Structure 1
Amino acid sequence: GEVYFDECYHQNPLVNAFSAGIVEVGKQISATSSGVGNPVFIVGSATGKDGIHGASFASKDLDEDSAEDIPSVQVGDPFQEKLLLEATMELATTDAVVGMQDMGAAGITCSSCEMSAAGEHGMDVWLDKVPLRQNMEPWEILLSESQERMLIVVEKGKEQKVLDIFDKWDLECEEIGVVTEGGTVNYFWDSELVGTLPAESAVLGGGAPVYHREWSEPTYYQEFKNFDINAVEEPADLKSVATKMVALPNIASKRFIYEQYDSMVGTRNMGTNDPSDAGVVNIKGTDKALAMSVDCNSRFVNADPEVGCAMAVSEAARNITCSGGIPSAVTNCLNFGNPYNPEVYWQFVGSIKGMSAACEKFETPVTGGNVSFYNQTQIGDTIEPVFPTPTIGMIGVVEDKKFITTLSYKAKGDLIFMIGVNRDDISSSQYLINIHGVSNSSTPYFDLEEEYANQKQVQMLIREGVLNSAHDLSEGGLWVGLLEKGFASGLGFDITLPAEHRKDAVLFGESASRILVTVSEENKDKFIDLMMLNGCDFDLLGHVTKGGVRVDDEDWGHVSEYQEIYDSALGTILSA
């Protein structure tokens, strides 16, 4: 996962959650409705007023009066959710289910219409049969977004199987409707018709108008491109800067956050003791594993939406590649300001173009996602939108667990190579922003073809068995990447920087498509031979040490000194 701090989120923090599951081929359950006369059940928790207008609440600006909309926020119950998941998993093993869908935005209205549209049928629903936590009007029942609920179409005659399972798990299970012919969904209260919707039109738009929004390039876009690295003086004391970099909130360890919950639930996490760039999850009973990553550097996207979003997709793929996986598919949550603002919509259009180009290159289809507009806060006459934040969740497949590759140094004396190209580039880096106080610069260098070639090269090297570790470079650049490899093992490094580039750019710049790998001395020749096959740039930086850190023959201390700062910095800041 990822935690990213910036002033733009102060009034409007974003939380994007990515969830992945494993399903056996042939045992999928579709979110569809079919079979005239089949009963419709609502299962899980009782329905309450929490979450009414939740979808519309998410589609307006936050302001001084937003606290009055608190009822629009759903109240979750993780324990109840777990019971519902277990019950529905047990139900899935029976032959009773025709279709099943969870209830999200717009609750019963949305799930009944979506299932009906998918199955090209209609549905009659009796709202007075819905289990309630409090007295509610029919329209409130229709729009409630109470959590832990599902709508299930059951094969007629097999209702008792469903009732028995949900009784076992002590969950609500009520028959509230029936599948009908045609494409209309009717809602009743007792015997009175209180609402009707054409399912296909409600779901797919039908004859609804299609808006073509205007967009315009913001003035800052060209201004950012005028940034010149030569206007930034290179610090004389790079070691002092390097120490400061490790303590920055966007670089320091997020241990303070993620250790507040159990990262080992279900014992599927394969990276607890020796982490990889991506989260690696065991697929029990097979030789395979899943690699997952969530990425988005919103400052890059703000500087150049098209390039920045392509970089977000590429970084997610790079994390999976470095972990031994092959990128497979993408989901997303696209967080933007008000789309009626032409400059915000320009950011949105550019991000979609960048995402499309990168996903096509990596052959990672976007299987689903979410768009969240109006992420901005209005205080008086001042409107503060968040940076455009198209969060990318990517999943990849490690076809054999023997290919799982971790990020840590493995042995003293191993050679440290960087695959990719160093450049005199510090644009939009944490170094430029926090050390020099320069916020206005474009994205760092990025070339999608170079990115793809380097990742394919690393995938091949892993499968040839010549790498001891792999770690991509992102926030904090080469310096932080070298340290992070040492934090996981307690080992250090001795490197020599290339003389043809500025040292601060090499150490702290964040240009893309670069990967640190370590190779044992005995695999050195094979590694170089394989690298020469495809023409990818690479450079020998140095070797792994017992724990000491040396840069250009200068003693920079011990890796444990930096790890103490790295591990404690965020907790110190957030606890202040």
Structure 2
Amino acid sequence: MSLSEPDRELVVTELGREPTAAEAVLFENLWSEHCAYRSSRPLLSAFDSEGEQVVVGPGDDAAVVEVADDVYITMGIESHNHPSFVDPYDGAATGVGGIVRDTLSMGAYPIALADSLYFGDFDREHSRYLLEGVVEGISDYGNSIGVPTVAGSTAFHADYEGNPLVNVACVGLLSPDRLVTADAKEPGNKLLLVGNATGRDGLGGASFASEDLSEDAETEDRPAVQVGDPYTEKLLVEASEALLDLDLVEAARDLGAAGLGGASSEMVAKGGLGAEIRLEAVHQREPNMNALEILLAESQERMCYEVRPENVYAVEQVAEKYDLGCSVIGEVTEGNYVCTFEGETVVDVNAEFLGDGAPMNDLESEAPPRPERDLPDADLGEAFEAVVGDPNTASKRWVYRQYDHEVQVRTATGPGDDAAVLALREAETGLAVSSGADPNWTAAAPYDGARAVALENATNLAAKGATPLAAVDCLNGGNPEKPDVYGGFEGIVDGLADMCAALDAPVVGGNVSLYNDSPSGPIPPTPTLAMTGTKEGYDVSEQGSEARRTKSYGAPPAALSGEGTLLVVGDSGGTRLGGSEYLAQMGGSDRFPTLPENPREVVETLAEVADAPDTLAVHDVSHGGLAVALAEMVSADAGATVEVEDIEALFAETPGRAVVETTDPEAVREAFAGVAPVAELGTADDSGALDLTVGSAERSSADSRAASPRDDGEELTYDAAEIAALRDVLARELD
């Protein structure tokens, strides 16, 4: 038994005896960091999870949020980090399958996926191998089950080389009468296992996810990685809809971490009840499976349902119709959680103690150091090409073109823009979705970087005319037993919580993944945030001033129309460059930018401006600063002539800012009066080129900058084809 000695003593005291072999491994998995959040739960109370729109908050398989009368959405997010290192294809694919089943277990139909992926340096062969396998796994699984992948992010950082991150979010849609929770309801109800047969794959996955990766992880830990079957998942999706149509489900739980033992014990614990489970009744695909294997296997595409006795036959008929296995494995009781195997009792424990009895860790933390200001003396053209052409800021078209983002015909604005926009016709509402984080930011300043991540996602929504509704997070960190690592993790929790509260965006659920450590070291603290927002209208945008004036549009595009004045709205934060791609490419250090004190007001104002009839295009300023934002807005049909103050203004990445193309710049200034600064950048035109002039302000000796004064008016010109060539580095290297 690999329980720590203090845990073993606690279990023995509770049981009054030594645990059986099955009990020992069950406690090991359910008391692991992955399941019990032993190092992170003390910190999570920082999040505000309440709001009028919140129907079901943290603690269930997914959160439920009200969008309109009789229209709910679910939001969930999951990590599959360690499995994706060991087996990138199956690890990523089963991450998609798991978050989709979390959606099903709430009674919702999955309508969108968002993937946030983090790898080592792109120029390393192993990073590209992992990237290709992960993207293929996500695309094959998501495309096969008919759920569009509409948003996400892809980042590269040297500290992910030994431990990539794969974070997947899912949004579902349901009406209030179809809402299901995981709380077991009544003794005497039956427990049914529906879906794929149980095999030996994924054994010990929860405990595997709670340990640092070893040098031999790719071979030694392969049995802990599940194998997915998207075609069975698609049948499970449709069967779930049929079960809800017939009102046959009392409670539901997807089989994920710790398999049947985890799902069934958590269901009855939530209801303050117990269960009697006959493990030999589970339908199996491999011969001679023992009790421990049946209990803890993490075979995919399986759901556990609580069903009234009189409805068991109807559930079996639905399973048969969809060619799914179905086993009556036991029933809900008022006693302990009991599992038998061929007449022998192998588990007999209190379900609540099993699920919630793990003691929390009391860990030391150490605050990260603050960098000094030391900027490089960089050549403007070299810096522009390095930043715009880096894989972190370059086009992610190679990734998202492999995903079917049109299936279900809801996608009004798809991948490649600031946020996706889905048509919720049931509510006559547009639902915007943004997901991601920036490891450069949180590596430089965990607290401020996490605040920036939350503001950046909200700004993405606002650029499409939406305001925040709710968010879910995936908090990724290294080994929390190291004080500096735990200090960084504390920073991202507090930073994310503080900014989401300021944005009035409740954090309604999430996932924690720690021990993302390897022989190459810990990952940067990485707070992936998936945020949704709502807006009026959802039709595909028509470009041009007339379409905007007649309101025949949905979200404003990020691409220039070539007809308006260009403004940058939002506070530059003193053009500090800490955490920027510019410093990552050119060297040097700096403090992190100062973020606005009124983020909710900034976001709401930007959303109003984005929806104004005279607004032609909106694009947020974030990774790579204005240099990347402008490069992304230029096309063969539309260009721009732009002037910026200096090289720092060009590359600063302060979030909460956006470039707005408008035919009424004065209206934009009036909208932002007293909210945030507005500066004119130049004009859009039909040149298909970016003409960029970078001036120079007087440099103060107090700034302690390495850069020397420049001549005013350094100029750069790139046509759309040259910019596209710079930005298409992923496709160029991988195709």
TM (norm. structure 2) is 0.72
- Match runs of 1:306-321 below 5 Å: 306-321=447-462
Equivalent pairs: percent with the same residue?
34
Establish whether residue 516 from structure 1 lines up as the match of residue 674 from structure 2. Answer: no
Establish whether residue 64 from structure 1 lines up as the match of residue 215 from structure 2. Answer: yes
**Letter matched to residue 177 of structure 2:** G
Residue 173 of structure 2 aligns to a residue in which SS?
A: coil
Q: Which of residues 433, 436, 453 in structure 2 aligns to 1:292?
A: 433
- Match runs of 1:378-389 below 5 Å: 378=519, 383-389=520-526
Residue 201 of structure 2 aligns to a residue in which SS?
A: coil
Give the Cα–Cα distance (whole angstroms) in 1 for the partners of residues 318 and 514 of structure 2: 40
Establish whether residue 54 from structure 1 lines up as the match of residue 205 from structure 2. Answer: yes
Change (3 A) 1:441 1:133: farther
Q: For the Cα contact (< 8 Å) 2:281–2:328, is it kept in 1?
A: yes
**Cα deviation per residue 1:363-417 (whole Å; 9 max; x = unaligned)?**
2222221111111112xxxx51111111111111224337842333453230111
Aligned equivalent of 1:21? 172
Aligned equivalent of 2:499? 358
Aligned equivalent of 1:334? 475
**Letter matched to residue 440 of structure 2:** R
Aligned equivalent of 1:413? 563
Establish whether residue 459 from structure 1 lines up as the match of residue 607 from structure 2. Answer: yes
Establish whether residue 251 from structure 1 lines up as the match of residue 393 from structure 2. Answer: yes
Aligned equivalent of 1:142? 295
Aligned equivalent of 2:374? 228
Query: Post-superposition shift, 1:450?
Result: 4.2
Query: Post-superposition shift, 1:536?
Result: 1.8
Q: For the Cα contact (< 8 Å) 1:268–1:282, is it kept in 2?
A: yes
**Letter matched to residue 525 of structure 2:** P
**Letter matched to residue 386 of structure 1:** I
**Cα deviation per residue 1:505-539 (whole Å; 9 max; x = unaligned)?**
1112212221111111xx3333333232x342101
Q: Which of residues 629, 634, 639 in structure 2 aligns to 1:492?
A: 639
Q: Which of residues 285, 297, 310 in structure 2 aligns to 1:157?
A: 310
Q: For the Cα contact (< 8 Å) 1:419–1:454, is it kept in 2?
A: no
Q: Which of residues 649, 653, 661 in structure 2 aligns to 1:506?
A: 649
**Letter matched to residue 274 of structure 2:** G
Residue 249 of structure 1 aligns to a residue in which SS?
A: coil
**Letter matched to residue 518 of structure 1:** E
Aligned equivalent of 2:185? 34
Q: For the Cα contact (< 8 Å) 1:410–1:469, is it kept in 2?
A: yes
Change (3 A) 1:62 1:409: closer
**Letter matched to residue 570 of structure 1:** L
Aligned equivalent of 2:384? 242
Residue 182 of structure 2 aligns to a residue in which SS?
A: coil
Aligned equivalent of 2:689? 548
Residue 630 of structure 2 aligns to a residue in which SS?
A: helix
Query: Post-superposition shift, 1:240?
Result: 4.1
Change (3 A) 1:555 1:372: closer
Aligned equivalent of 1:112? 264
Residue 267 of structure 1 aligns to a residue in which SS?
A: coil
Q: For the Cα contact (< 8 Å) 1:100–1:152, is it kept in 2?
A: yes
**Cα deviation per residue 1:483-518 (whole Å; 9 max; x = unaligned)?**
21224x7311111223xxxx2111122122211111
Establish whether residue 192 from structure 1 lines up as the match of residue 335 from structure 2. Answer: no
Give the Cα–Cα distance (whole angstroms) in 2 for the partners of residues 35 and 399 of structure 1: 42
**Cα deviation per residue 1:97-133 (whole Å; 9 max; x = unaligned)?**
1111101111111111111122222111110000111
Establish whether residue 479 from structure 1 lines up as the match of residue 479 from structure 2. Answer: no
Query: Post-superposition shift, 1:214?
Result: 1.0
Give the Cα–Cα distance (whole angstroms) in 1 for the partners of residues 560 and 590 of structure 2: 37
**Letter matched to residue 719 of structure 2:** H
Give the Cα–Cα distance (whole angstroms) in 1 for the partners of residues 427 and 262 of structure 2: 37
Change (3 A) 1:124 1:262: same
**Letter matched to residue 534 of structure 2:** V
Establish whether residue 572 from structure 1 lines up as the match of residue 572 from structure 2. Answer: no
Q: For the Cα contact (< 8 Å) 2:436–2:457, is it kept in 1?
A: yes
Residue 3 of structure 1 aligns to a residue in which SS?
A: strand
**Greater Cα shift, 260-269 or 54-63:** 260-269
**Cα deviation per residue 1:121-153 (whole Å; 9 max; x = unaligned)?**
211111000011112110111111111000001
Q: For the Cα contact (< 8 Å) 2:467–2:604, is it kept in 1?
A: no
Aligned equivalent of 2:365? 215
Aligned equivalent of 2:534? 397
Establish whether residue 86 from structure 1 lines up as the match of residue 238 from structure 2. Answer: yes
Give the Cα–Cα distance (whole angstroms) in 2 for the partners of residues 350 and 243 of structure 1: 33
**Letter matched to residue 249 of structure 1:** P
Give the Cα–Cα distance (whole angstroms) in 1 for the partners of residues 416 and 491 of structure 2: 34
**Letter matched to residue 291 of structure 1:** A
Give the Cα–Cα distance (whole angstroms) in 2 for the partners of residues 564 and 456 of structure 1: 35
**Cα deviation per residue 1:190-230 (whole Å; 9 max; x = unaligned)?**
3321112211122222xx43321111234xx13x2x1233x
Change (3 A) 1:69 1:410: closer
- Aligned-residue CA RMSD (Å): 2.0
**Greater Cα shift, 69-78 or 410-419:** 410-419
Q: For the Cα contact (< 8 Å) 1:325–1:404, is it kept in 2?
A: no
**Letter matched to residue 325 of structure 1:** A
Query: Post-superposition shift, 1:70?
Result: 0.6
Change (3 A) 1:541 1:138: same
Query: Post-superposition shift, 1:464?
Result: 4.4
Gaps of 5+ in 1: none
Aligned equivalent of 2:278? 126
Q: For the Cα contact (< 8 Å) 2:239–2:319, is it kept in 1?
A: yes
Give the Cα–Cα distance (whole angstroms) in 1 for the partners of residues 223 and 428 of structure 2: 47
Aligned equivalent of 1:264? 406
Aligned equivalent of 2:332? 179
Aligned equivalent of 1:562? 723
Q: For the Cα contact (< 8 Å) 1:466–1:527, is it kept in 2?
A: no
Aligned residues: 547
Gaps of 5+ in 2: 1-151, 539-550, 694-712
Q: For the Cα contact (< 8 Å) 2:602–2:675, is it kept in 1?
A: no
Q: For the Cα contact (< 8 Å) 1:252–1:566, is it kept in 2?
A: yes
Query: Post-superposition shift, 1:160?
Result: 1.7
**Greater Cα shift, 52-61 or 258-267:** 258-267
Query: Post-superposition shift, 1:25?
Result: 2.2
